[in-house]
Amino acid sequence: MRTMDLDGYAVVETDERLDALSAPALKEAVTGVVRGAEQPLVIIDLAGTRFIDSSGCGALVAALRSVVANGGDMKICSPSAQARDLFELTRLDRVFRIFGSRGEAVDSFG
């Protein structure tokens, strides 16, 4: 997990797998962003993630709740085909705003 600041947006780059082992690191990264921002604007970049399981989905939902509860907004970008299929199957594609690239996610903040 890697977090960086991109012109006022926090970008969290996930690992190759977002599962029970790595989900706590995602939650911790987002908690750090939320703690340090008045209105956190977060992009979860899934470009490097090839596999997501239910624990990973749970961590993404928890991250979204945390960001929104603190007056912020969260977007997801660059999901793999497996991640897109999982989001559609679980209907999380209706919960998350998902973009094909980081640039599209940044532009969507307006």
Give the pLDDT confidence score for residue 77 in this predicted structure.
Answer: 98
Q: What is the CATH number for 41? A: 3.30.750.24
Domain extent at residue 75: 2-108
pTM of the model: 0.94
CA distance 23 to 60: 8
Question: Could you report the per-residue pLDDT of 57-110, keeping only the tens digit for each?
Answer: 999 999 999 999 999 999 999 999 999 999 999 999 999 999 999 999 999 997
| CA 5, chain centre distance (Å) | 14
CA distance 11 to 35: 15
Domain count, the chain: 1
Q: Which of 21, 25, 17, 10 is nearest to 70 (CA)?
A: 10
Helix (H) or strand (E) holding 3: strand 2-6
Question: Could you report the per-residue pLDDT of 9-57, keeping only the tens digit for each?
Answer: 999 999 999 999 999 999 999 999 999 788 999 999 999 999 999 999 9
